[in-house]
């Protein structure tokens, strides 16, 4: 903001007066101002690029809003809000997001904060073929940033990691099954995987829990609500490590 503009804003706040562009008439106003910025105003005051008197005039009640990566609990509500707004504006039909895709986005760091979330959801909603946004509809660079592979301190073998990643892809098929519950779809799903759909879904959920817990079976068992012994049997059954 230019210093001349800062001066005009300061005058409006202090005197309660403004002048229209091109006019010399003074108009009395009674307003309450809300200001937002992502700039380091304290440093700008020291550098003389932001007026100190305006800074203190604005800095009456200060609200510090953490970046989105520090308030992940807001992600589901923000996604729901964006999808409803897109449907209201007739940009897309009414859509929801699958639990698997939402779990993935809750792990993302959101360097672009809420604006990045809005753009990502709009893009994914446009690409989604059904009424639900699946993992396959999310930008690949985001999915890769989240599922970059096992951490260095994880004791999983490479074979186990490959099994988990393969099952994570299965979540997309589960989401498709839920959005298209036709007999033909289920038949194709059974023929493709050679197992019943419930086992297919359980394998994907266990893989997701292992991914979220960095391979720690005790934590994964807590996420899934089963005993560690039962989880160990399922891991052996589905060859997940």
pLDDT single digits (tens) 5-15: 899 889 888 88
pLDDT reading at 174 higher than 80: no
CB-CB contact of 223 with 212 (8 Å): yes
Q: From CA 147, how far away is CA 240, in angstroms rounded?
A: 17
pLDDT reading at 60 higher than 60: yes
CATH of 158-237, one of 1.20.1740, 3.90.550, 1.10.3470, 1.10.10: 1.10.10
* Percent composition of the chain: helix, strand, coil (DSSP 3-state, to 5): 60, 5, 35
The pLDDT, as a whole number, for residue 49 is: 93
Q: Looking at 21-30, 40-49, 82-91, 196-205, which range is the least confident one?
A: 196-205
Q: What digits encode the pLDDT tens for the residues 111-131?
A: 889 999 999 999 999 888 888
Q: Does domain 68-146 have CATH number 1.10.3470.10?
A: no
pLDDT band of residue 149 (cuts 50, 70, 90) is very low
The better pLDDT of the pair 103, 155 is held by 103
- Kindly report the backbone phi and psi dihedral angles of residue 106, in degrees, each rounded to the nearest multiple of 5, phi listed first: -70, -15
The pLDDT, as a whole number, for residue 102 is: 92
The pLDDT, as a whole number, for residue 208 is: 81
Q: Which residue has the tokens 């060859």?
A: 239
What is the average pLDDT across 201-212?
82
What is the average pLDDT across 21-26?
87
Q: What digits encode the pLDDT tens for the residues 76-97?
A: 999 999 999 999 988 788 899 9
The pLDDT, as a whole number, for residue 197 is: 61
Q: Which stretches does DSSP call E strand in 12-159?
A: 17-18, 27-28, 96-97, 132-133
Q: Which candidate, 101, 79, 75, places its Cα nearest to that of 171?
A: 101
The torsion defined by the Cα of 186, 126, 81 and 72, in degrees rounded to 10, comes to 80
pLDDT reading at 156 higher than 70: no
Mean pLDDT, the chain, rounded, equals: 79
- Domain ranges, ordered by start, for the chain: 3-58, 68-146, 158-237
The pLDDT, as a whole number, for residue 155 is: 32
The torsion defined by the Cα of 172, 177, 180 and 183, in degrees rounded to 10, comes to 150
What is the average pLDDT across 195-199?
62
Q: Looking at 58-67, 155-164, 214-223, which range is the least confident one?
A: 155-164
53-67, 151-165, 203-217 — most confident range: 53-67
* Its pTM surpasses 0.75: no
The pLDDT, as a whole number, for residue 180 is: 47
The pLDDT, as a whole number, for residue 175 is: 55
The pLDDT, as a whole number, for residue 168 is: 47
């Amino acid at each position: 903001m230019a210093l001349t503009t800062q001066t005009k804003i300061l005058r409006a706040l202090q005197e309660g007066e403004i002048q229209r562009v091109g006019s010399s008439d003074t108009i009395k106003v009674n307003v309450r101002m809300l200001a937002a910025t992502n700039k380091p105003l304290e440093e700008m005051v020291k550098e003389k690029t932001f007026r100190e008197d305006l800074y203190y005039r604005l800095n009456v009640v200060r609200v510090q809003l953490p970046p989105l990566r520090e308030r992940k609990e807001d992600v589901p509500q923000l996604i729901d809000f964006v999808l409803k707004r897109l449907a209201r504006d007739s940009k897309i039909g009414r859509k929801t997001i699958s639990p698997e895709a939402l779990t993935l986005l809750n792990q993302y760091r959101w360097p672009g904060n809420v604006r990045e979330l809005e753009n990502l959801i709009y893009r994914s909603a446009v690409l989604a073929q059904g009424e639900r946004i699946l993992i396959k509809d999310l930008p690949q660079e985001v999915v890769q940033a989240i599922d970059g592979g096992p951490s260095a301190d994880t004791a999983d073998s490479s074979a186990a990691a490959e099994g988990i990643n393969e099952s994570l892809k299965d979540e997309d098929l589960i989401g498709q099954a839920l959005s298209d519950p036709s007999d033909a779809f289920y038949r194709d799903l059974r023929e493709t995987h050679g197992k019943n759909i419930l086992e297919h879904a359980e394998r994907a959920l266990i893989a997701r829990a292992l991914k979220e817990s960095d391979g720690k079976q005790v934590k994964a068992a807590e996420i899934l609500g089963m005993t560690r012994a039962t989880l160990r049997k399922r891991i052996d059954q589905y060859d997940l490590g």
